[in-house]
A and B are shown apart, each in its own frame.
Chain A
Amino acid sequence: DAGVIQSPRHEVTEMGQEVTLRCKPISGHDYLFWYRQTMMRGLELLIYFNNNVPIDDSGMPEDRFSAKMPNASFSTLKIQPSEPRDSAVYFCASSFLGAAEAFFGQGTRLTVV
């Protein structure tokens, strides 16, 4: 397996634009997590899914953020409209029940100017 795949790796966008980040989890994993990493806040859990169903979105900072998982092999995190303070590295990770560890993608570095 190629691991967790995220796209794009880098995204630069203007304030007010819509941004969509994509994630393909490892095949067979039934948990998917979206994290945001910044120097100030470290690694924050935004939302996670189990069997494509959102379980906990309490970490989503504002209504501008939304996430979907239409099937077991794809998830999106959308920011609309984007703001400069959304600039961060966004990670997707997957795991499965009974596994102790999480498997991370390479991240998407988002810059909102």
Chain B
Amino acid sequence: SQQGEEDPQALSIQEGENATMNCSYKTSINNLQWYRQNSGRGLVHLILIRSNEREKHSGRLRVTLDTSKKSSSLLITASRAADTASYFCAHRDNFNKFYFGSGTKLNVKP
């Protein structure tokens, strides 16, 4: 399977703290993406990092990529209760199929 693995599976933090989620994947990639899924909703694209990039920022999001270790991390700084959701890493292969990780369920307590 080309699906990635994410850890932790679940993360519970207080509002204002930082949340870090990790993703490992198995194949070579052109880019890696992170998605967010609110309860009962579809996945929404958050940020993409290309294989030749090591770090990328978007607002309170910071993504890193280590292609030698086939891993990525998503950091959400100064978390808010509204950040409570599941977060998935994903990549698109050369056949244009999307593969998603197992997801990290984040709970931010107010």
Q: Which residues of A contact B (CB under 8 A)?
A: 4, 31, 33, 35, 42-43, 45, 48, 50, 55-56, 91, 93, 95, 97, 100-107, 109
Contacts of B97 in A (CB 8 A): 33, 45, 48, 56
**A102 CA to B35 CA in the complex, in Å?**
9
Contacts of B92 in A (CB 8 A): 95, 100, 102
**A100 CA to B45 CA in the complex, in Å?**
10
The binding surface of chain A is classed by DSSP as: strand
Please report the number of residue pairs spanning A and B whose Cβ atoms sit closer than 8 angstroms: 56
Nearest CB of B to A38, in Å: 12
Asked if residues A43 and B96 are in contact (CB atoms below 8 Å), the reply is no
Q: How many residues on chain B are close to A (CB under 8 Å)?
A: 22
B25 contacts chain A at the CB level, 8 A cutoff? no
Closest 10 CB pairs of A and B: A104-B42, A101-B45, A43-B100, A104-B43, A42-B102, A102-B98, A106-B42, A100-B48, A105-B42, A100-B31
**A91 CA to B100 CA in the complex, in Å?**
13
**A100 CA to B99 CA in the complex, in Å?**
12
